[in-house]
Amino acid sequence: MTASGTSRIDSLDAVRAVAMFAILISHLNPFREVEGWRLASRIIDNLTAFAVPVFFLVAGYLFGRGVQKDGRIGARWWKVTQRLAVLFAGWCLIYALFPVRGDWSHPLANLLGVARGAIEHPFVLLFNGTAIHLWFLPALWMGLSLVALGAAGRREQWLLPVGAILFIISRLGYSYAATPVGIPWPFPVCSRYGPMTSTLLVAIGFLWAKRQTPPRLELAWGLIVAGMALNLAESYWLGHVYHVPVYQHTTLFGRELAGVGVFWFALAAPSFGRGTLLPLMGRYTLGVYATHFLVMRLEQPLAPMASGLIPPLLWEPLEVVLVYLGAVALMFLLARIKLTQRLVY
């Protein structure tokens, strides 16, 4: 998912492709229900923790790279705003008509239900969207907006401190809420949504675009390993000591650390993925991300039948590949329709 319109960088596109596959694995959660493979499922989920942070970091970096090129912060911000507004509105409409959970035979009734919910809780719609994964789009816009505002006002030195404060509050208000350091979060929107998580990561990417020298490869690997180890330790501690359910383990500090490591790896190894399909796959990340929940919903009735015919240890990874290919196919189908082509590229 790109936010700047700048020229492609093979390693960043390749990393985005890997991150998109990691998100699919996280959402499908393979081996979770396979007897004796629960621990493997948790470890696999831990290995995918870097994915969402990488998208914020890369978006901030490409935005900063574009600003470094022509200095037009306002014009670039407005271009990104228009792009994200079309994406968010379009996909909110699609998932309102055809929800991830709900009856697809009455799309207009579904839409009216969403409209009623929006009137009662407008901020929930603006921050969350109509499907669980659409929160990324307004969060990215808010993070980019704060960074653009700080850069335009020549207050770049405040970007990291402000982003860090929002980031820490988001963690203490959700995953760490049940611990002694947790804080109450009185708002109806999850504390990781909006600018709370995105601002720090977008700012890191934006500021890194100013540097002339790439990060050291060994430091990138160190952050990846340390971030994943920390994420696993946090998840174990929160689950076993404070009984925080697994679905609340999405705002852990190790995730962002691993994400920065993967981002730095892409910059330190610019040839990564070159000569493979990964850079090409990375260009379709936006479409795959937007469509994959529709494909998962279409695939749900088939999964029990397929898992009964195919051994679970083979079906679980195969399902991830099939959903990815289905999302790519749906993306290309939507790209051929004039009304929807702007929603996938």
Q: Tokens in use for 241?
A: 């000591």
Question: What's the CA gap between 93 and 104, in Å, rounded?
Answer: 13
In 3D space, the residue among 187, 161, 176 whose CA is nearest the CA of residue 252 turns out to be: 176
Is 186 exposed, middle or buried (CB count within 10 Å of its CB: 0-12, 13-18, 19+)? exposed
At 92, the amino acid letter reads C
Domain definitions of the chain by residue range: 10-343
Model pLDDT for residues 153-205, shown as the tens digit of each residue: 889 999 999 999 999 999 999 999 999 999 998 888 888 899 999 999 999 99
CA angle 29, 30, 36 (to 5 degrees): 115
pLDDT at 41 > cutoff 60: yes
Residue 3 has pLDDT above 60, yes or no: no
CA distance 177 to 239: 12
Q: How far apart are CA 74 and CA 224, in angstroms?
A: 34
Please state whether the predicted TM-score (pTM) of the whole model is above 0.95: no
The pLDDT value recorded for residue 2 is 55
Is there a contact between 193 and 135 (Cβ–Cβ < 8 Å)?
Answer: yes
Of the chain, the percentage scoring pLDDT greater than 70 comes to 98
Place of tokens 């816009």: 141
- Report residue 320 as tokens: 């991830």
